[in-house]
Amino acid sequence: MQEKLSFERLPVAPDPSELADRACKAAAKAATAIEVRGPPLHAARQREGRRIKVMSAVVRRALSRLVAGFPSLLNLPPFYRDLVEVLVGVDKLRKSLGAVDGTAQVVGKLEREHLRKLRAAGSPAGAAAVRRQAFGRISSVVKRAGEHLAFLRGASEKLSSLPAVFTDMPTIVIAGYPNVGKTTLLRALTGSAPEIAPYPFTTKGLQLGYFEHHHRRYQVIDTPGLFDRPLEKRNPIERQAIVALRHLADIVVFVLEPSETCGYEFPDQLRLLDDIRRTFAELEVLVAANKADLLDEDKMRRAREGCADAFFVVATTGQGVDELLKKVLEILAPDEA
Ligand SMILES: Nc1nc2c(ncn2[C@@H]2O[C@H](COP(=O)(O)OP(=O)(O)O)[C@@H](O)[C@H]2O)c(=O)[nH]1
Ligand SMILES: [Mg+2]
């Protein structure tokens, strides 16, 4: 079963002082909850030992959870790797996760070191001093990781704008100017309303839909706001985020709208089509000439001249969509179409 990689629920890195405080409080509470027996020194060692263990455990658990909550950067699918690179930098992220993991290890070491010292304590006051020293050193180690924790907090926030998609499902990316009928075509292809997923550098997000053919699922992605102006007009960071979609796409359907009711002139639409063909150079780009119901003879002729191999469709009624889909499946599943 394929699974979507989700960045929507990344853990939020704790504030170092708050974490240290929380751990101290939990430790104090745990120490009063245990029953100790025997002479005062023995009882003090038990209590203080318990406090050190709980302090350490609370800190280590919080740090390990944080690290474990980030998807492994080593085997991120290229689509996500590119986006993580654009948004936070893979190396920086790896370094901070490594530092936090290292902090958890050091805390464990400090715990063991102070438990040993505790065994050598000669009085209840001495045992309390060892515990205070352990708390102080653990707190300061956690605070020294503050910069990395802050970086990870920012990273979680930025990465929460990444969409949850299937990276290994055959995928059709729909491109074209606004209002040409991309979403309507997605509905026609999938038979349902799309899910919306966030995407960096656009407030419109992605629209995702799915359909099944011969027991195989296909993903259809509408990209409002991403491929609706030439990529040269984007800044390099935006461009990188947009171009990451080529890792997901197995085929592109570019929606043309020769009737121009969308408000964009036909020649501009053809220029954008050229741009998309260059961006997805390694992929097949099929063209759907939509709103064929609105074309008079002149515009129909012009559309044929402008794009000889376009599929004329009416996304609202589904007319022509089957032929387009047949071609899509011929390319994506040549053995089954
Ligand atoms: N007449 C006609 N209108 C269409 C067709 N396809 C879409 N529309 C209309 O065009 C408008 C924009 O469609 P939409 O799918 O939202 O475009 P998008 O911005 O590219 O996603 C909507 O009002 C649709 O109902 C079509 O084939 N014929
Ligand atoms: Mg749309």
Last residue of a domain, one of 104, 129, 159: 159
Judge residue 212's burial from the number of C-beta atoms within 10 Å of its C-beta, 0-12 exposed, 13-18 middle, 19 or more buried. exposed
CA of 314 to the centre of ligand 1 (A): 9
Q: What is the pLDDT of residues 83-108, one digit of tens each?
A: 999 999 999 999 999 999 999 999 99
Q: pLDDT of the chain along its 337 residues, tens only? A: 567 877 878 999 999 999 999 999 999 999 888 888 889 999 999 999 999 999 999 999 999 999 999 998 888 999 999 999 999 999 999 999 999 999 999 999 999 999 999 999 999 999 999 999 999 999 999 999 999 999 999 999 999 989 999 999 999 999 999 999 999 999 999 999 999 999 998 889 999 999 999 999 999 999 988 887 788 888 888 888 888 999 999 999 999 999 999 999 999 999 999 999 998 999 999 999 999 999 999 999 999 999 999 999 999 999 999 999 999 999 998 886 5
DSSP string, 62-115: HHHHHHHHSPPSTT--HHHHHHHHHHT-HHHHHHHHHHHHHHHHHHHHHHHHHH
Same domain as 140, residue 183: no
Neighbours of ion ligand 2 (CB under 5 A): 182-183, 224
Last residue of a domain, one of 159, 191, 209: 159
Same domain as 204, residue 88: no
Same domain as 193, residue 120: no
How far apart are alpha carbons 92 and 114 in whole angstroms? 33
* CATH of residue 42: 1.20.120.1190
CA 191 to chain centre: 26
- Determine which residue's CA is closest to atom 8 belonging to ligand 1: 181
How far apart are alpha carbons 114 and 30 in whole angstroms? 18
Spell 38-61 as b/e; 16+ CB within 10 A means b.
Answer: eeeeebbbbbbbbbbbbbbbbbbe
The residue segments making up the domain with residue 51 are 16-159
For residues 184 and 316, the answer to whether their CB atoms sit within 8 Å is: yes
Residue type, 245: L
CA of 292 to the centre of ligand 1 (A): 11
Same domain as 249, residue 111: no
For residues 252 and 284, the answer to whether their CB atoms sit within 8 Å is: yes
How far apart are alpha carbons 271 and 249 in whole angstroms? 21
- Determine which residue's CA is closest to atom 19 belonging to ligand 1: 179
Residue 164 within any structural domain of the chain: no
Same domain as 184, residue 289: yes
- Compute the 3-state secondary structure of the chain and give helix, strand, coil in percent, each to the nearest 5: 55, 15, 30
Q: CB 318: neighbour CB atoms within 10 A?
A: 16
Same domain as 152, residue 281: no
Task: At 304, list the tokens.
Answer: 């044929």
Same domain as 98, residue 50: yes
Q: Which atom of ligand 1 is nearest to the CA of 313?
A: 27
For residue 215, what are the CA distances in angstroms to 4, 242, 272?
Answer: 19, 31, 35
How far apart are alpha carbons 149 and 81 in whole angstroms? 21
Same domain as 177, residue 134: no
What is the model's pTM?
0.86
How far apart are alpha carbons 292 and 311 in whole angstroms? 10
Residue 57 within any structural domain of the chain: yes
Strand partners, 195: 208
How far apart are alpha carbons 169 and 245 in whole angstroms? 13
Among residues 164, 141, 145, which one has the least CA distance to residue 153? Answer: 145
Residue 9 within any structural domain of the chain: no
Residue 8 within any structural domain of the chain: no
Residue 7 within any structural domain of the chain: no
- Determine which residue's CA is closest to atom 2 belonging to ligand 1: 291
- Per the structure, the count of domains in the chain is 2
Question: What was the pLDDT predicted at 288?
Answer: 98
Question: What was the pLDDT predicted at 337?
Answer: 54
Same domain as 183, residue 143: no
CA of 194 to the centre of ligand 2 (A): 10
Same domain as 201, residue 111: no
| Structure-token match 């438990």, residue found | 115
What phi and psi, each to the nearest 5 degrees, are found at residue 225? Answer: 80, -5
Residue 119 within any structural domain of the chain: yes
How far apart are alpha carbons 6 and 160 in whole angstroms? 9
* CATH of residue 271: 3.40.50.300
CA of 117 to the centre of ligand 2 (A): 66
Mean per-residue pLDDT over the chain, rounded: 94
Same domain as 305, residue 181: yes
User: Closest ligand to 179 CA?
Assistant: 1
Last residue of a domain, one of 104, 134, 159: 159
Helix (H) or strand (E) holding 243: helix 236-243
Strand partners, 196: 207
Under DSSP, is residue 181 helix (H, G, I), strand (E, B) or coil? coil
Same domain as 147, residue 183: no
